């Protein structure tokens, strides 16, 4: 776990700096932009994660689907009945390292929910009467999903290759998030609303 934290710390700081909802002048439109970008990120991440040969624990897969559905409610999009699975994800690792890579990607998703909990007070300031379902879901579950995931990750007993692959998966997950949260993407999202 510490290796993943260390490997992603600079990327985490860069992403935090791009979150317009943290700005003093943030409005509800910025909250919806944030949710739309997060939804776009999950739609690219989850099919890859769930297409891998050895499945994640059921509670992790269920949490991912619940998060996706809550975003769909907030964005007024059709909610998926089940997880779409990409039949042939293009992943930059060998088959032997897929497990570690996938757990590294999921590490970033689980961490993002801690981020949603941390942002909740800010969202409550911006829109106290219409806090999105996504943020309410994160707060209602608290740190329990993270702790459960961290325990499961620790029990994976990844070898050196697996840990290296996990670092790569986490970095790739952040890289995709940074690409989606690029300032030009934020401008496009605000014009779309």
SS3 136: helix
Over the stretch 112-162, which tens digit does the pLDDT of each residue have? 999 999 999 999 999 999 999 999 999 998 888 899 889 888 888 788 888
For residue 158, the model assigns a pLDDT of: 82
Categorise residue 77: left if φ over 0, alpha if ψ from -120 to 50, beta otherwise: beta
- Which of residues 57 and 125 earns the better pLDDT score? 125
Collect all residues with Cβ–Cβ distance below 8 Å to 129 and sequence separation of at least 6.
none
Q: Which residue has the tokens 């700005």?
A: 23
Instruction: Identify the helix (H) or strand (E) that includes residue 106.
Output: helix 98-126
What whole-number distance in Å separates Cα of residue 154 and Cα of residue 152? 5
Token digits of residue 99: 């497990």
pTM recorded for the entire structure: 0.86
Distances (CA, A) of 152 to 19, 30, 61, 63, 109: 29, 34, 13, 14, 15
């Amino acid at each position: 776990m510490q290796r993943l934290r260390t490997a992603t710390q600079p990327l985490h700081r860069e992403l935090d700096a791009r979150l317009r909802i943290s700005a003093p002048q943030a409005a509800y439109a910025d909250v919806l932009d944030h949710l739309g970008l997060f939804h776009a990120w999950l739609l690219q991440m989850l099919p890859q994660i769930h297409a891998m040969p050895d499945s994640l624990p059921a509670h992790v897969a269920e949490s991912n689907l619940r998060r996706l559905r809550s975003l769909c409610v907030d964005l007024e999009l059709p909610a998926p009945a089940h997880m779409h699975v990409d039949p042939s994800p293009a992943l930059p690792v060998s088959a032997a390292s897929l497990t570690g890579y996938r757990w590294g990607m999921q590490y970033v998703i689980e961490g993002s929910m801690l981020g949603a909990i941390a942002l909740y007070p800010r969202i409550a300031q911006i829109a106290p009467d219409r806090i999105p379902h996504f943020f309410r879901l994160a707060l209602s579950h608290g740190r329990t999903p993270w702790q459960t995931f961290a325990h499961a990750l620790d029990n994976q007993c990844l070898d050196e290759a697996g840990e290296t692959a996990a670092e790569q998966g986490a970095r790739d997950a952040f890289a995709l998030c940074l690409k989606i949260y690029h300032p030009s993407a934020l401008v496009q999202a605000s014009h779309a609303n």
